[in-house]
């Protein structure tokens, strides 16, 4: 049977690896575009939005179309950041879901 001390050390190592992965994800910036390239979003691997850029000509389009395209780009960016985060964390946890991560 594995001793409590050994389990504690393993848990501490896993926690450190997770903190390192989260720090790395925080620094990694994904560039996501939408609306045929008219919308550009920057988001970290942890899901923190870092920037939004809109093509000025795009803003001359129908306001409803512009709103929908921006919203879809935001959703896409969020999904890609979540996937990046999930992939990084599942490598550390062996696929176990860890509550509270993203």
Query: Domain range spanning residue 52?
Result: 4-93
CATH number at residue 85: 3.30.1310.10
pLDDT for 23: 87
Q: Is residue 60 part of a domain?
A: yes
Percent of the chain surpassing pLDDT 90: 52
pLDDT for 91: 75
pTM: 0.73
Q: Is residue 99 part of a domain?
A: no
DSSP conformational letter for 58: G
pLDDT for 94: 62
3-state helix, strand, coil in the chain (%, to 5): 60, 20, 25
Q: Of all helices (H) and strands (E), which one includes residue 86? A: helix 63-93
- Structural domain tally of the chain? 1
Q: What's the token pair of residue 51?
A: 């920037």
Q: Is residue 100 part of a domain?
A: no
Q: What is the pLDDT along the chain (102 residues), one digit of tens a residue?
A: 557 888 888 888 888 888 888 888 889 999 999 989 999 999 999 899 999 999 999 999 999 999 999 999 999 999 999 999 888 888 776 645 555 544
Q: Of all helices (H) and strands (E), which one includes residue 87? A: helix 63-93
DSSP conformational letter for 59: G
């Amino acid at each position: 049977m594995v001793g409590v001390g050994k389990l504690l050390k393993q848990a501490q190592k896993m926690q450190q690896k997770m903190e390192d992965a989260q720090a790395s994800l925080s620094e990694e910036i994904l560039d996501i575009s939408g609306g045929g390239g008219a919308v550009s979003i920057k988001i970290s691997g942890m899901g923190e939005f870092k920037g939004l850029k809109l093509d000025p000509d795009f803003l001359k389009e129908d306001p409803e179309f512009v709103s929908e395209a921006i919203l879809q780009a935001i959703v896409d960016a969020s999904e890609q950041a979540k996937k990046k985060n999930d992939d990084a964390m599942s490598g550390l946890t062996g696929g176990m879901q860890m509550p509270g991560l993203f």
